[in-house]
Homo-oligomer: A and B are copies of this chain.
Amino acid sequence: MGQMVQELKERGHRLTPQRQMILEAIEAAQGHVSAETVHTKVAAQFPQVNISTVYRTLELLQNLGLVRHTHFDDGIAKYHLASETPHQHMVCRRCGDEREIDVSVLDPLDRHLRERYSFEADLAHFALIGVCGRCAAERAAGG
Q: Contact residues of A with B, CB < 8 Å?
A: 71, 73, 75, 90, 92-93, 99, 101, 105-106, 108-109, 112-113, 116-123, 125-133, 136
Contact = CB atoms under 8 A, between A and B. Distances in A.
Q: Is the interface of A mostly helix, strand, loop or mixed?
A: mixed
Given A75-B71, A129-B125, A112 B119 contact: no
Interface centre among A118, A119, A120, by most chain B C-beta atoms within 10 angstroms, is A119
Given A75-B71, A75-B75, A119-B90, A113 B128 contact: yes
A75 B130 CA distance: 18
A75 B78 CA distance: 13
Nearest to A121: B130
Given A108-B108, A108-B109, A112-B105, A129 B121 contact: yes
Nearest to A136: B120
A61 to B, nearest CB: 17
A28 B133 CA distance: 36
Contact of A119 (B109, B121, B130): B130
Interface centre among A73, A113, A118, A130, by most chain B C-beta atoms within 10 angstroms, is A130
Contacts of A132: 117-119
B75 A101 contact: no
A84 to B, nearest CB: 18
